[in-house]
Amino acid sequence: MKKFENVYQDAALMRKVLLGEADEVEQKDLEKRLAECPDLRNVYEQLQSGETLKVAFGEYQKYSSKKAYQSFLQSIGQMESKGRKSRSRRVGWYAAAAVVTLAVALSFYMSNYISSEKEGKTLIQPGTQQAQLTLSDGSVIDVHRKEVSVVVDGVQVKYKKGVLSYQPTVTTQHEEKNIEEQPGKSNELVIPRGGENTVILADGTTVHLNAGSKLTYPVRFAGKRRIVRLEGEAYFDVAGDENHPFVVQTHLGEITVLGTEFNVNAYADTPVCYTTLVHGKVKFSTLNAETITLSPGEQAVVFANSSTKRKVDLEEYVGWVDGMYIFNDRPLGDIMKTFERWYDIQVYYETPNLRDITYSGNLKRYGTINSFLDALELTGDLTYKISGRNILIYDKVEEQEWKR
């Protein structure tokens, strides 16, 4: 790939020209750069017709570029004082609040444009709607490949366009639910890596399931509590029923609600469960009998032997439902673990400490992972290689030393 020279300066200069902020000298500087670099001219022409980017840049004019730039320099200073192996970078993917981060965002656009148009670089696509349903009789259906329309225990089960639904028939709609819980017919919905799906339960509760997750639930609810079991991550929009609390069981405890919206991240291969409340009120009961009550905007962080409650940025934990991954000072290892499930990839690191470098930014859930990987390269810290569905991340500084 032909590298852009002085990519940050080029990006900042184009931003000023596009917003009408450039003086005559800067206009001529850009014209010279465009004449020198045909690839840069191609990107500039794309941006000129890209009204979305122009509007986005205009919105960010109200922010203080000077303040953001000072913060940026300060973060670099902190990094250098801690040494090369404890580096931290803040990367603004597709959105930023200052000249520096806008330049970074624009340079990502350049990187994506060049890699896809000029090189035909291997692109790793996002997950798709897919799921495997196991019925109470043990039969298994790949719901994304086969139409589902069956009646199970008096409930109509259908699948259409990424949504599996359970609708009680007339004969079951008026049955009493105030008896004690008892074993009944249950279904299991498994979402593979690289997949997602939604299920509407018999009580009207909607559950959005993320990649690598499994939900076990009754075909129809019976008893004083509506109980389901989750392994993985799901966003719940619970149908209100004051007489029958909704309960989500995980490997580290259970969440009890009446009617609310919340996100649960409880993968079996991790030692922690995150429960994040959006609306309503929930109660988390841990394995050691501790109870945590959450209000909107709060999160319960539960381990096997400890737990805590904290205020969080909701979008960071529920943004995936609306098609956006948001990270705030998250270790690269945690970010890539999320991406391993969603993109169905395996990530390898040259040295373990690379997992600890922290990043902040946004990534569109339904875009390729390549824009994020290119962002890693632009920080100057890391680089990567793709082989099939395997990604190797290694130290860019050490790569340069190898070439000497």
pLDDT tens by residue, 233-282: 999 999 999 999 999 999 999 999 988 999 999 999 999 999 999 999 99
Share of the chain above pLDDT 90, in %: 48
3-class secondary structure per residue, 13-44? HHHHHHCCCCCHHHHHHHHHHHHHCHHHHHHH
pLDDT given at position 364:
87
According to DSSP H, which parts of 83-123 are helical? 99-114
pLDDT given at position 150:
86
Which region among 33-42, 160-169, 205-214, 229-238 has the lowest average model confidence (pLDDT)?
Answer: 33-42
Q: 173 has which bridge partners? A: none
pLDDT given at position 14:
75
The contacts of residue 301 (CB under 8 Å, 6+ apart) are: 272, 273, 274, 307, 308, 309, 310
Query: What does pTM read for this prediction?
Result: 0.72
Bigger pLDDT: 84 vs 38: 38
Mean pLDDT of 220-240: 95
Which region among 177-186, 206-215, 308-317, 379-388 has the lowest average model confidence (pLDDT)?
Answer: 177-186
- The DSSP secondary structure of 242-292, one letter per residue, reads TTS-EEEEETTEEEEESS-EEEEEE-TTSS-EEEEEEES-EEEEETTS-EE
Give pLDDT tens digits for 318-345: 999 999 998 888 999 999 999 999 999 9
Q: Over 70: is that where the pLDDT of 151 sits? A: yes
Q: Over 70: is that where the pLDDT of 178 sits? A: no
Bigger pLDDT: 165 vs 401: 165
Q: How many CB atoms lie within 10 A of CB 191?
A: 25
Give pLDDT tens digits for 350-404: 988 999 988 888 888 998 998 888 877 877 778 899 999 999 999 876 554 444 4
C-alpha distances in Å from residue 3, one per residue of 107, 110, 114, 119: 11, 10, 9, 12
Q: Left (φ > 0), alpha (ψ -120 to 50) or beta: where does 324 sit?
A: beta
Helix/strand/coil for 118: helix
Give pLDDT tens digits for 52-111: 454 444 443 333 333 333 443 344 343 333 333 334 444 433 333 333 334 444 544 444
pLDDT given at position 397:
60
From CA 105, how far away is CA 118, in angstroms rounded?
20
pLDDT given at position 266:
97
pLDDT band for position 112 (cuts 50, 70, 90): very low
Bigger pLDDT: 154 vs 200: 200
Q: Over 90: is that where the pLDDT of 30 sits? A: no
Which region among 42-51, 158-167, 202-211 has the lowest average model confidence (pLDDT)?
Answer: 42-51
From CA 243, how far away is CA 262, in angstroms rounded?
20
Share of the chain above pLDDT 70, in %: 72
From CA 47, how far away is CA 53, in angstroms rounded?
7
pLDDT band for position 44 (cuts 50, 70, 90): confident
